[in-house]
Amino acid sequence: MKSEGVLKPYFKQTWHIYLASVTLHAAASIIFAYFPKVLGDFTDKLKSGQLGSHDVVHFSVVLVLIGAGYALLGGYGQYLVMYVGRLFEYMTRRRLFTHFSGLSEHYYSKNGVGKMLNYFMNDVTGVRESISMGINQTAMATMLLISCVGAMILSDIPLYLIAASVGPLIFIPWIVIKIGPVIRQRSRKVQEALGTMTESAEEQFGGVRVTKKFAVESIMIKRFSSKVDQIKTNQLSLVRISSLFQAIVPFLGNLSLIVSLAYGGYLTIKGDITLGNFVALTLYVRMLMNPLQQIGNVINTVQRSRASLQRLNELIAVQPDIVEADNARTVNLASSPIRLSDLTFTYPDAPQPALKHINLAIQPGMTLGIVGRTGSGKTTLVKQLLRVYEPPVQSIQIGNTDIREVTLESLRSQIAYVPQDGFLFSTTVGENIAFGRRKAGQGEIHSAARQARIYDNITEFPEGFETRLGERGVTLSGGQRQRTSLARGFIMQAPLMILDDSVSAVDAVTESEIVHTIQQERQGKTTIIIAHRLSALKHADLIIVLDEGKIVQRGKHDQLLAEPGPYAELHAIQEEGSQYADGR
Amino acid sequence: MPTAVNNWQTDQKAGNGKQPKPEYKSAFRILKSYINPHRKTFTLVTICTIIAIASELFQPYLVKIAIDDNLMAGKNDYSSLIVICAIYLGLSISSLFFTYLQNNLLQDAGQSIVSRIRKQLFEHITRLSMSYFDKTSSGSLITHVSSDTEAVNQFFNQVLLTLLRDGLTLISILVMMFYLDTTLGLYCLLLLPIIALIAIGFRSFMRTTYQMARTRLSRLVAFVAENLAGMSLIQVFHQQKAQGELYKERNEDYFKANVREIRTAVTFNRTFDLLGNLTIAFVVWTGGKAVLGDTMEFGVLYAFITYIRQFFQPINAITQQWNTLQSATVAVNRIWGILDVEPEIKDAAKPVKINHDAIKGRVDFNRISFSYGNGTPIFRGLDLHINPGEMVGIVGTTGAGKSSLMSLLCRFYDVNEGSVQIDGNDVRHIPQAELHRIVGLVQQEPYLYAGSIIDNVRMFDESISREDVVRACEFVGADQLVSRMAEGYDTRLSEKGSGLSAGERQLISFARIIVFRPKILILDEATANLDSQTEQLIQRALQVVSEGRTTIVIAHRLSTIMQADRIIVLSHGSIVESGTHAELIELQGVYEELYRHSQGEAAAASEAESANESAAAPEAHTIR
């Protein structure tokens, strides 16, 4: 577990930008702190009658310079720190994406996509807020605070007056820290209520056909309304506290001003301080209200993002389960048999093994059929060959090499896997088909599409193979998706092809055509077919029947039919309808 | 973590390329109609706001009095200073109170309005015809209900508050300035067009950068979400590097857009700052000269300087609300676009009265012609008559019109010519709610709601008793499954029915049928996607459910319909064969060929022929 975490490498690379930004902020604040002082001096000169008209010009020019200096220096400092915050997002997200690509299916099955996306978006942004705006505002506020107090002390305003005037302001950060979390908690409740409402809408619009068919629209509307009312209740409870906050902060500022007005005025009358100092004091108090509020906000932000940072650091520290061995070798699947010897596999955290004592030899060029009910371990078995999970040592051999000592590249690029769900990316159809062979030419893409019986569908799309899929493009039916995914497998012309119930949503006619094509195309190449319909397996060289992770039967189609057992039973069920009809 | 996902979905929608131009006038007119019932509250809010900003507004003026009448004049009358402080304290306390009141009042009214809009929108969408849902993705409807209404909410939450409070502050400051000194006030008034020019110039620029960043963000998020979802596939195809490159492009794009956005925002804010400070210098210069010439008191100058500083705060606040205002306007127009959609299918003005229990279940399709929109006709004069209690199986390739036929019977669409009748009543004359209770539908993917099993079976209709539900579940054989669950019938199911297999979910949807007692039952591919053992279970339930009902079964798998009283073979919208399984096999036609295929005989001879056929039958519905 050696991991540097998220922040260390980042600060190593960017500390000089931070330094520059803080320096700029300091300079800007010091300049700005002169602003009330200049006006105070102006007042004093005016009162004592020493002010000439060229002095007026002089004071104006100084004010312009202060304004310009503050805007430029402070602005550049702010820009730098915001820039560097975005740089953090950029760097961290790049790292996270690479990290995600290395994590295995085990991790993905434990953590949903929503959760990982949350790391990726909200946690990264949360940390960025702290180290960008947080640092920016802290720097600005403290520098301004120091400069203002410093300037006040320098300008002979007595310390006790400063303390009395600034006193009420000190409560501002305290209140922000006290009320802030309550506001956050209530605002989370509002967000949750909103989420519930969205879920309710999702449910309703997704199942609108059902609602309509049972004519229960009004009941569903009532259900939704209760969710809406919850939002209102939560929102109003949030407003009660947040508006209190919004009212109290300026009130404290006003108290400060009243103190400086009363006490400062009294001292001015007594002659202890000059009128200029009095004017400067009121201006300083005004200037300090904002930074103090910001400090409170920053403390809250930092608290919030500490949890995010911790989550990110833990995520980065996760080690991928599947790691290539140091001395990994390449293998040739076209000539090497695959041997499974006494393979027993248990999913991490599962109480029962998913595969038990599997012994199987897959000779190059053979067609293997796998049958079994849902959950019998069919997919688990073929995924072992892809090394998606780590099989026990010495249980899978390719040629004479243990699968754990084969390079992932050579293993996976020689296997064309066609999963059941037909997952496609929202790129063009052509790009989806060429996913495993990005350099494939149009001709190859077309012929793969023809083999998968999807060519005619694609050419009917307005943009043919250039048609985009997904949200903003064409939505394919389940069968079309499966056939596109099949084409993606065909184009690889891999020595080993695995079809994991790949045509379940395709109609009977097309299915039998595809089965026929597979037979022709895969002549002499190793093919593993998982199927529910036994008709797809008739031609297999070997069929294994899995039940609860064990091979319970093996043989050719005719052989298996002849012996009593699950295969023959399954066959009977699939034929039953016809017997029933014939018997009539 | 629903919010995270929602956010990026919203972003995705927002980044949908062209943003419709906000039509402020119509949006405001629409909102006004909602505000009207709350007129009293809004008047109160305005009054509260005026009182609330008073302390902020009078502070410089009070200090001015203190300086001019007291400190500068050297009167040194401490008691009048105390009076001024007391007034100020009083104003501050009233401001504290009224700010609080104003916020709460405004939110109360605003939330009531937003709730009303949300409910109205949801109700309206729910009552639209099926044809609308076939055309519109549910994703965009969800966006309207959640994000668009949230944008309206922000309008009340932020925009309206800012406009009221800061707008009033701005005006009051101007009034105070003019009251204090007309010439200097006029000079400051000159500022307004300058500020407006700068704001407008920057705003359009900021909008483009902002939108660019949002679009790129949504692209980034969509890419990551998809890649995470498909990571196993990427790994199996060993494409991590190639996808990583694609990712890098998007990440870089987003970063660049961000930097641009930052640059614009910082420049904008600092320009404002600079302008504020320049103005103060200018005031010192002109005002200083005036004070020297004794045409102005020093306190007035002090007040002016403070007012100028205050002046820029509300302007800044208002410009910050600009983006929110824009998205709210677009959202309002979008929402009203939907509220304007009329359901395509409406109940007849004088519907026939139907006695649900007396329905026999005869179905007649009389020479119907039909097409979706202006597309190619699906049916041309199709004729089909189904007797009460008959079980009819319908087969045909994808696109043959099986599902369209059922949509017409449910009156999701209306026929172009001919008529669909139930017991001799045209479906167009039966109220839809009644029709939908007469015709029951079981789909391929049974849809379950977040709720208990009881509520899922009775569809949350509490007029149906628990006992009825339990009896229905026993009837279809779902009781065993329920008894295995931790909390029996009160086990909560999630939206996608997780924890239940496809077959178990289908059993629950059969129980629904029993509870709602439709007279005509349609099974639309209800047994696809099941393994053979489960299919057998469902077959048994189907036999129970179809008892005494007219049943229409659509299936890919012939095993489901072999026992039907009559099998109809549809091709290109017309009936090509009809008869029992045995009769059709004897006929040696399309059905017999389908049957052979389903038995796995790769019919090499007829391959070319059937390939043509499947090509000629585009899967029209799935392409939207």
At residue B623, does pLDDT exceed 80? no
Instruction: State how far the Cα of A73 lies from the Cα of B98, in Å rounded to an integer.
Output: 39
Q: List the structure tokens of A95.
A: 């790292």
- Among the ranges given (B244-248, B447-451, B470-474), the one the predictor scored with the smallest mean pLDDT: B447-451
Q: What is the DSSP secondary structure assignment for residue B548, as one 8-state letter?
A: T
Q: Is A315 helix (H, G, I), strand (E, B) or coil?
A: helix
Distance to chain B for A366, nearest Cα, Å: 20
Q: Tokens 């789909």 identify what position?
A: B443
CATH homologous superfamily of A1-157+290-321 = ABC transporter type 1, transmembrane domain (1.20.1560.10)
Our measurement of the distance from residue A460's CA atom to the centroid of its chain's CA atoms, rounded to an integer in Å, reads: 36
Residues of chain B contacting residue A250, judged by C-beta atoms under 8 Å apart: 56, 95, 99
Contact status, residue A116 vs residue A233, Cβ threshold 8 Å = no
Instruction: State how far the Cα of B317 lies from the Cα of B308, in Å rounded to an integer.
Output: 15
Tell me if B92 and A258 make a contact (CB, 8 A cut-off): yes
Distance to chain B for A400, nearest Cα, Å: 22
Q: Which fold has domain A322-414+496-503+525-584?
A: Rossmann fold (3.40.50)
Average pLDDT of the residues in B534-555: 81
Neighbouring residues of B376: CB distance < 8 A, sequence distance ≥ 6:
none
Neighbouring residues of A460: CB distance < 8 A, sequence distance ≥ 6:
B618
Which residues 556-595 on chain B approach chain A with CB closer than 8 angstroms? 556-560, 562-563, 580-582, 594-595
Which residues 277-336 on chain A approach chain B with CB closer than 8 angstroms? 278-279, 282-283, 286
Residues of chain A contacting residue B594, judged by C-beta atoms under 8 Å apart: 508-509
pLDDT of residue A161: 84
Residue B552 or residue B63, greater confidence: B552
Instruction: State how far the Cα of A194 lies from the Cα of B3, in Å rounded to an integer.
Output: 8
Per the DSSP assignment, residues forming a β-bridge with B577 are: B569
In a domain, B312, yes or no: no
pLDDT of residue B65: 82
Stretches where chain A sits below pLDDT 50 are: 1-2, 577-584
Contact status, residue B482 vs residue B493, Cβ threshold 8 Å = no
Asked, colleague to colleague, whether A322-414+496-503+525-584 and A420-493 share their fold, the answer is yes
In a domain, B623, yes or no: no
Q: How many structural domains does chain B have?
A: 3
Which residues 28-47 on chain B approach chain A with CB closer than 8 angstroms? none
In a domain, B607, yes or no: yes
- pLDDT category at B612 given cuts 50, 70, 90 is very low
Nearest residue to A422 (alpha-carbon basis) of A469, A462, A370: A469
Tell me if B95 and A251 make a contact (CB, 8 A cut-off): yes
Number of Cβ within a 10 Å radius of residue A159: 10
Contact status, residue B16 vs residue B214, Cβ threshold 8 Å = no
Instruction: State how far the Cα of B543 lies from the Cα of B79, in Å rounded to an integer.
Output: 98
Could you give phi then psi for residue A474, rounded to 5 degrees? -85, 140
Which residues 485-514 on chain A approach chain B with CB closer than 8 angstroms? 504-505, 507-513
Neighbouring residues of B337: CB distance < 8 A, sequence distance ≥ 6:
none
Instruction: State how far the Cα of A275 lies from the Cα of A285, in Å rounded to an integer.
Output: 16
Distance to chain B for A481, nearest Cα, Å: 11
The sign of the dihedral angle between the CA atoms of A510, A512, A515, A519 is negative
pLDDT of residue B14: 38
Number of Cβ within a 10 Å radius of residue B501: 15
**E strands, B519-581, where?**
520-524, 550-554, 566-571, 574-579
Distance to chain B for A547, nearest Cα, Å: 13
* B9, B114, B118: best to mutate for the A interface, most A CBs within 10 A: B118
Indicate whether B369 and B483 sit together in one domain.
yes
Distance to chain B for A70, nearest Cα, Å: 8
Which residues 435-454 on chain B approach chain A with CB closer than 8 angstroms? 436-437, 439-441, 443, 447, 449-450
Indicate whether B65 and B125 sit together in one domain.
yes
Q: Is residue B392 exposed (0-12), middle (13-18) or buried (19+ Cβ within 10 Å)?
A: buried
Exposed e or buried b for every residue in B568-596, given b needs 16+ CB within 10 A? bbbbbbebebbbbbeebbeeeebbebbbb
pLDDT of residue A444: 92
The H-or-E segment that residue A368 falls in is strand A367-371
At residue B533, does pLDDT exceed 60? yes
Residues of chain A contacting residue B284, judged by C-beta atoms under 8 Å apart: 39, 42, 56, 59-60, 63
Indicate whether B514 and B533 sit together in one domain.
yes
Tell me if B108 and A236 make a contact (CB, 8 A cut-off): yes
- pLDDT category at B7 given cuts 50, 70, 90 is very low
Neighbouring residues of A173: CB distance < 8 A, sequence distance ≥ 6:
A292, A293, A295, A296, A299
From residue A156, alpha-carbon distances to A29, A36, A38, A159, B76 in Å are 20, 13, 14, 8, 21
Average pLDDT of the residues in B8-21: 41
Tell me if A71 and B273 make a contact (CB, 8 A cut-off): yes
Type of residue found at B76? N
Q: Tokens 């060519």 identify what position?
A: A455
pLDDT of residue A474: 66
Distance to chain B for A473, nearest Cα, Å: 9
Indicate whether B429 and B499 sit together in one domain.
yes
The verdict on pTM exceeding 0.95 is no
- pLDDT category at B618 given cuts 50, 70, 90 is very low
Neighbouring residues of B299: CB distance < 8 A, sequence distance ≥ 6:
B63, B64, B65, B66, B67, B68, B69, B72
Indicate whether B512 and B567 sit together in one domain.
yes
Our measurement of the distance from residue A323's CA atom to the centroid of its chain's CA atoms, rounded to an integer in Å, reads: 23
Tens digits of per-residue pLDDT, B135-194? 777 777 887 888 788 888 888 877 888 888 888 888 888 888 888 888 888 887 887 788
Indicate whether B340 and B396 sit together in one domain.
no
Average pLDDT of the residues in B331-351: 84
Indicate whether B46 and B151 sit together in one domain.
yes
Tens digits of per-residue pLDDT, B393-445? 998 876 678 888 888 998 888 899 999 999 988 989 998 888 888 998 887 77
Q: List the structure tokens of B576.
A: 């090509």
Instruction: State how far the Cα of A514 lies from the Cα of A510, in Å rounded to an integer.
Output: 6
In a domain, B107, yes or no: yes
Which residues 71-110 on chain A approach chain B with CB closer than 8 angstroms? 71-72, 74-75, 78-79, 82-83, 86-87, 89-90, 93-94, 97-98, 100-105, 108
Nearest residue to A129 (alpha-carbon basis) of A89, A161, A99, A76: A89
Q: List the structure tokens of B463.
A: 């007029």
In a domain, B490, yes or no: yes
Indicate whether B150 and B246 sit together in one domain.
no
Interchain contact A572–B (C-beta under 8 A)? no
Could you give phi then psi for residue A497, rounded to 5 degrees? -120, 135
In a domain, B619, yes or no: no
Instruction: State how far the Cα of B51 lies from the Cα of B56, in Å rounded to an integer.
Output: 10
Domain ranges of chain A: 1-157+290-321, 158-272, 322-414+496-503+525-584, 420-493
At residue B10, does pLDDT exceed 50? no
Query: Which structural domain, as residue segments, surrounds residue B76?
Result: 23-180+323-344
- pLDDT category at B392 given cuts 50, 70, 90 is very high
Residues of chain A contacting residue B529, judged by C-beta atoms under 8 Å apart: 504-505
pLDDT of residue A340: 92
Tell me if A66 and B277 make a contact (CB, 8 A cut-off): yes
Mean pLDDT (chain B, rounded): 80
Residue B218 or residue A398, greater confidence: A398
Tally the residues of chain B: 624
Interchain contact A263–B (C-beta under 8 A)? no
Interchain contact A349–B (C-beta under 8 A)? no
Closest Cβ opposite residue A412 in set B150, B236, B292: B236
Contact status, residue A272 vs residue A158, Cβ threshold 8 Å = yes
Quick one: three-class SS letters along A458-472? HHHCCCHHHCEECCC
In a domain, B471, yes or no: yes
- pLDDT category at B132 given cuts 50, 70, 90 is confident
Contact status, residue B304 vs residue B177, Cβ threshold 8 Å = yes
Per the DSSP assignment, residues forming a β-bridge with A355 are: A345
Instruction: State how far the Cα of A555 lies from the Cα of A543, in Å rounded to an integer.
Output: 5
Instruction: State how far the Cα of B621 lies from the Cα of B623, in Å rounded to an integer.
Output: 5
At residue B620, does pLDDT exceed 50? no
Nearest chain A residue to B81 by CA distance is A262
From residue B605, alpha-carbon distances to A522, A539, B278, B594, B608 in Å are 21, 18, 90, 14, 7
Indicate whether B284 and B168 sit together in one domain.
no
Distance to chain A for B73, nearest Cα, Å: 10
Indicate whether B258 and B369 sit together in one domain.
no
Closest Cβ opposite residue B556 in set A243, A474, A508: A508
Indicate whether B604 and B561 sit together in one domain.
yes
Number of Cβ within a 10 Å radius of residue B171: 11
pLDDT of residue B613: 38
CB pairs under 8 A between A and B: 472
Residues of chain A contacting residue B244, judged by C-beta atoms under 8 Å apart: 97-98, 101
Closest Cβ opposite residue B242 in set A206, A438, A504: A438
Interchain contact B498–A (C-beta under 8 A)? no
Tell me if B291 and A46 make a contact (CB, 8 A cut-off): yes
At residue B4, does pLDDT exceed 50? no
Average pLDDT of the residues in B90-101: 89
Closest Cβ opposite residue B76 in set A212, A269, A504: A269
Indicate whether B233 and B270 sit together in one domain.
yes
Q: What is the CATH number of domain A420-493?
A: 3.40.50.300
Tell me if A68 and B274 make a contact (CB, 8 A cut-off): yes
In a domain, B254, yes or no: yes
Looking up residue B594, the CATH number of its domain turns out to be 3.40.50.300
Number of Cβ within a 10 Å radius of residue B144: 21
- pLDDT category at B485 given cuts 50, 70, 90 is confident
Instruction: State how far the Cα of B523 lies from the Cα of B510, in Å rounded to an integer.
Output: 10
